[in-house]
Amino acid sequence: MERYKELLDKLYKEVKKVEVSERFEIPKIEGMIEGSKTIVTNFSQICSTLRRKPEHVAKFLSRELAAQATIEAERLVLNRRLGSKMINDKIEAYANEFVICPECKKPDTELLKEGKFLFLHCLACGAKHSVRAKIV
């Protein structure tokens, strides 16, 4: 019994350690080119990692990549041929602006709307920073 508890403690410590050192990683896009379109097939997975609404992310990408973006179920369809690096870079830019806390660099944040202002509120350290309310 005692050994079992020890084992659990050890396991628990190891799990904790992993959690602390784990970096926030945005999945790289998976996609394909179809005619003149670029399709991101794991778009909903990326948005759930970012914990942001797909519509918001799509709007940002549309603007940054100068392409029309349409959400089709799990996928995002962009009406231009785009390299995956370009899209990955823009998703990272989105995370830096709308997800990652500028104070503690953690991704445990939420967007708060107050009047016509939008704030990035950090659940880890409590910091609040204003961000662009509209992506247009």
Residues forming contacts to Zn ion in the complex (CB under 5 A) are: 101, 103-104, 122, 124-125, 127
Which residue from 85, 83, 109 is spatially nearest to 96, judged by alpha carbons? 109
Count the alpha carbons within 13 Å of 20 in the hemisphere toward its beta carbon: 6
105 Cβ contact partners less than 8 Å away, ≥ 6 residues apart: none
Nearest to Zn ion of 104, 131 (CB atom) = 104
Nearest to Zn ion of 104, 135 (CB atom) = 104
CB of 120 to Zn ion, least distance (A): 9
Nearest to Zn ion of 26, 86 (CB atom) = 26
CB of 99 to Zn ion, least distance (A): 11
CB of 23 to Zn ion, least distance (A): 15
Q: What's the chain's Rg over C-alpha atoms?
A: 19
- State how far the Cα of 132 lies from the Cα of 130, in Å rounded to an integer: 7
Please report, as a single letter, which amino acid is at residue 110.
Answer: E
Nearest to Zn ion of 34, 110 (CB atom) = 110
CB of 114 to Zn ion, least distance (A): 18
